[in-house]
Structure 1
Amino acid sequence: MSAEEVLEAIQKMSNKERWKLLDKMYDLYFSKEHLIAKEKLDRLREDEYEL
């Protein structure tokens, strides 16, 4: 899908759906919480293997 097609689809969305999309995009691209959680999980796994 091209950028133009994506923008066209966004323009056809209701405001409520646009906000949902923005929330999801933020979580995917700007929120680092998932990376922090993954790092913690990786450290826990490393600790288990060292025991």
Structure 2
Amino acid sequence: MKKRSFSEERRLGYCDEHQAILDCLVRRDPEGATDAMLAHLRTVERR
């Protein structure tokens, strides 16, 4: 990963995105988990 990917702001954003994925999994919401994961991957891809 690029060094800039590890700024505090981005790290917090990634944590929020990971939490959203986990929340969906805990709720047994596969569609929500899929949407959250795809949103996260799009974010990572742009950076």
Verify same fold: TM over 0.5.
no
Whichever of the two has the greater Rg, that structure is 1
Q: Under a length normalisation based on structure 2, what TM-score does the superposition of the two structures give?
A: 0.42
Q: Under a length normalisation based on structure 1, what TM-score does the superposition of the two structures give?
A: 0.39
